[in-house]
Amino acid sequence: MSVDVKIPSVGESVSSGFITQWHKAEGELVNSGDLLLTLDTDKISTEITAESSGVLEILIQEGQDVMIGAVVGRISHAQEGSKPAPKNIEEQHESAVSNDIIDIEEVKEDPTPVQSEPSEELEQYVEPDKFPTINEPENKQKKRDLRLDRKAPVSPAVKVLAKEKGVDLSLIIGTGKKGAILKKDVIAFIDGGSSLVASAKESTNSLKKISGESLPNLSIKPTKLEKPLPSKIEDNGRITRTPLSPIRRKIANHLVSAQRDSALLTTFNECDMSSVMSLRKGLQDDFVAKFGVKLGFMSIFIKAVVDGLKEVEQINARIDGNDLITNHFYDVGVAVGSERGLVVPVIRDCDKKNFAEIEKDIAKYATLANEGKLGLDDLQGGVFTISNGGIYGSMLSTPIINPPQSAILGMHNIIERPVAIDGEVVIRPMMYLALSYDHRIVDGREAVTFLRRVKDCVENPARLLVGA
């Protein structure tokens, strides 16, 4: 008897997907609940798990497009003795971890409990204190066995390293067996992703220091997939051909249709960030003590955008056929650049939330984007989008709107520049702002008015905090 592995429905508008990776090999013995494969669609990435235990047969390989409901594999009920016993200690340890059961008699013929420190290979996979000993009662052994069934095993040495470096292990995707977090994962995270810790843990997004202050970093870079998309070497090694992932195809079609179906125009302004920097510095300690999160730039810009949308209703509108739909809610999307592509999680009801609630939402979505676990509901329904090119060092750009929205705000890096104030030249931290809009429904006057309103709110953030 066998059970089919089918591609489940992941949303009404999703009809197909792309098998990015099989996490189990052909003929491997799997348990119910084990992660089998990762499916990429044009919106989200989905992990498909085994519905029963048995031997896996793969019918459709990695790199293939599949329809929703398609049978991509089969799990045959395993017969006793179908899996050969491991031949050496390393294979025994690997077998024990993969099946979440440790047979002491198989691991070591000598029944004497081992008292020495665990080997480094074993330490990479599971914590030593999770192994049952021969003298333990059966019920305790079962409890310890069950504790092995977790997504990210961590050894004591890794915990110590993480504690010393101040790293939150929940933000790291392990590369060891069963997702075990290894020392090299922590070191790589520290070297290349320490800013992400601030983003997810402190709700301020990763920070890039510029002129003594920082920009919100919404570029979430999760750990790369263990296996890249299948590629072909062509033209005697001169080129490599790699299929576009579903999300990249969607992005391409989405952006091309935005330029084809909209009358895009961009207006610019510049913003003095002195006041908002001073405000954050003065309120930060009290804000953290009261709410448990830091006050970041992004929540201030979101609140400024809401203020502008209330004043200029045309920006909070969209075209539907021959009709104009005016929105009376304020769900603002924040563009996040990940290695899988651009995603725009939506912060809901920004007009009803305070700064702390918005910061917590940003932290939540940063974590979900990092883990590749954003759902369809997280990405739909926004009325306006904010994009921050400044995290890449961009001084100025013309962002493309996110249809069917009518406008998008582009933030850029903060640079100390000389500016004239009251007849004197002074040095101030300045940011260029860009508003791209659909000229079919938004005129230049409305666009300039909206952008000036956002500028005024950011340059005078105290009135946002008091609701003025």
Distance CA 366, CA 51 (A): 30
User: What kind of architecture, by CATH, is found in domain 247-465?
Assistant: 2-Layer Sandwich (3.30)
Distance CA 357, CA 309 (A): 20
DSSP 3-state assignment of 33? coil
Q: Is 443 a catalytic residue?
A: yes
Topology (CATH) of 117-202: Dihydrolipoamide Transferase (4.10.320)
Catalytic one of 65, 261, 286, 443: 443
Catalytic one of 145, 254, 439, 456: 439
Q: Are 294 and 203 in contact (CB under 8 A)?
A: yes
Q: Is 129 a catalytic residue?
A: no
Place of tokens 């539907």: 320
Pairing mode of beta strands 35-40, 16-22: antiparallel
Distance CA 361, CA 291 (A): 13
Q: Which CATH number fits domain 2-76: 1.10.287.950, 3.10.105.10, 3.30.70.60, 2.40.50.100?
A: 2.40.50.100
**How does DSSP classify residue 87?**
S
- Domain coordinates of the chain in residue numbers? 2-76, 117-202, 247-465
CB-CB neighbours of 299 under 10 Å: 28
Distance CA 437, CA 435 (A): 6
Given CA atoms 365, 371, 374, 379 in this order, what sign does their dihedral have? positive
The answer to whether the peptide bond before residue 404 is cis (omega within 30 degrees of 0) is yes
Question: Going by C-beta distance under 8 Å and a sequence separation of 6 or more, which residues neighbour residue 10?
Answer: 17, 39, 41, 43, 44, 46, 68, 376
pLDDT in single tens digits along all 468 residues of the chain: 788 888 888 765 677 787 878 888 888 888 888 888 888 776 667 788 888 888 998 988 887 888 888 898 989 875 544 444 444 444 444 444 444 433 434 444 444 444 444 444 434 444 444 444 444 444 444 444 433 334 456 777 777 787 777 777 766 767 766 567 877 777 777 765 443 333 334 433 333 343 334 444 444 444 344 455 567 888 888 999 887 777 677 777 777 878 888 899 999 999 999 999 999 999 899 999 999 999 989 999 999 999 999 999 999 999 998 999 999 999 999 987 666 667 889 999 999 999 999 999 998 888 888 777 888 788 889 999 999 888 888 899 999 998 899 999 999 999 999 999 999 999 999 999 999 999 999 999 999 999 999 999 999 988 787 664
Q: Are 305 and 437 in contact (CB under 8 A)?
A: no
The type of residue at 449 is: T
> Following DSSP, what letter does each residue of 315-346 receive, concatenated?
GGEEEETTEEEEP-S--EEE-EEETTEEE--E
Question: Going by C-beta distance under 8 Å and a sequence separation of 6 or more, which residues neighbour residue 354?
Answer: none
Distance CA 246, CA 64 (A): 11
Given CA atoms 135, 137, 142, 143 in this order, what sign does their dihedral have? negative
- The C-alpha R_g of the chain, in whole angstroms, comes to 26
